[in-house]
Homo-oligomer: A and B are copies of this chain.
Amino acid sequence: MQLKDLAKQLNVSVSTVSRTVNGTGRVGAKTRERILDAIKQTGYQPNEVARSLKRRSARTLGVVVADLSNSFYSKVIKGVEKVASENSYNVFVCNTDEEVGKEEEYIRVLLQNQVSGLVIATVGSDVRLFQPYIDSGIPFVFIDNLPLLEERFNLVAIDNAKASRSITQHLVDQGHRKIAMMTGPLNQSTSSERLLGFRKCLEDNGIMPEERWIGVGTFKQEYGYRMMREWLLNEDRPTAVLAANDFLMYGAIKAIYERGLKIPEDIAVACFDANDETGLISPGITAIIQPAYEIGSIAAEIIMRREHDKGRKQYEKIELEPVLLLKQSSMGNKG
């Protein structure tokens, strides 16, 4: 069923039907009535693809994340979706599994599909590939990780270095001086910034960071486990560990338990993003919690704003405040 058929059936022109469907332009009361009726009868639904082609925009947002099953990202997505649906936009969600190739591919596909904007937690793809699009005015909003771009992008994120300093300071305040850190690839800014903040904080406290206790690998559980195991093989082991995300921490904890050690008595742990909804993880894990839902909704709002004043190429950098959630995993004074 389409416009044309309806029009024919009612002996009016397609444009009249179109106008009443869209509520644009004046249409006679009774003709409108008849048309609305027929629409209800036939269950006519406009073809969005045709509309998108005409309008040259699909009223769709693309979201590219590394891992859907990571609750941080799923909350971001919910935030994006809320704003999108308030504006009658759709959301395309893509999962890159932290693979740069997939990320580039998905961005390309989304662009081909005429998305109105992109929300990206990049894992380091060469976003410059998409410079033409960015310049052409399609808003790219980065969350979490910074891209390899100069200035021409929007950003919604926390200050990772600062957050890292604050959680490290907490460990120091508990009396720890032998603190290890594990993080993901340094080409991701979340990783490098968190490491930077960690180092800075130790230095500010007159502690020399031990290079052997700095693990740079991936953001996956398996790496956290391997790294921690290695550290524990040595007699001289850290008394506290900071992990740059929750998966790393879960891996680390597994290694700690395997070694028969206790948290926090033998080793204190803290990390980013561990937000236990169940309340059953024990001990509770001290963590920096990012406002994930807000990150998503604000990112989407930026795109909406760009849709309104198109052409105006202007970029927003929004910094949100995380929360330092204190739990048992890091408690107990070592001083």
Q: Which residues of A contact B (CB under 8 A)?
A: 43, 45-50, 52-53, 58, 68-69, 71, 74-75, 77-78, 81, 85, 90-95, 102, 108-109, 111-114, 132, 221, 246, 250, 253-254, 277-282
- Whether B281 lies near A278 (C-beta < 8 A) is yes
- Whether B77 lies near A68 (C-beta < 8 A) is yes
Measured between beta carbons, the chain B residues less than 8 angstroms from A109 are 48, 90
| Apart from A49-B52, A69-B74, A253-B278, 7 more pairs, CB < 8 Å | A46-B112, A77-B95, A78-B95, A90-B113, A250-B277, A253-B279, A282-B282
- Whether A114 lies near B49 (C-beta < 8 A) is yes
In the assembly, how many copies of this chain are there? Answer: 2
Task: Tell me, rounded to whole Å, the shortest Cβ–Cβ distance linking A267 to chain B.
Answer: 14
Measured between beta carbons, the chain B residues less than 8 angstroms from A47 are 53, 112, 114
- Whether B254 lies near A45 (C-beta < 8 A) is no
- Whether B95 lies near A92 (C-beta < 8 A) is no
Task: Tell me, rounded to whole Å, the shortest Cβ–Cβ distance linking A97 to chain B.
Answer: 9
Alpha-carbon separation in the docked complex, A292 to B108 (Å): 28
Task: Tell me, rounded to whole Å, the shortest Cβ–Cβ distance linking A262 to chain B.
Answer: 13
Kindly identify which residue among B74, B108, B250 contacts A74, using a CB–CB cutoff of 8 Å: B74
- Whether A280 lies near B281 (C-beta < 8 A) is yes
Alpha-carbon separation in the docked complex, A49 to B52 (Å): 7
Q: Which 4 residue pairs spanning A and B have beta carbons closest together?
A: A93-B93, A69-B74, A250-B278, A48-B112
Task: Tell me, rounded to whole Å, the shortest Cβ–Cβ distance linking A9 to chain B.
Answer: 16
Q: What are some 24 contacts across the A-B interface (CB < 8 A)?
A: A45-B108, A46-B112, A47-B53, A47-B112, A48-B109, A48-B112, A48-B114, A49-B49, A68-B68, A68-B74, A68-B78, A69-B71, A69-B78, A74-B74, A77-B93, A77-B95, A90-B92, A90-B113, A250-B278, A253-B278, A253-B280, A254-B279, A280-B282, A281-B281
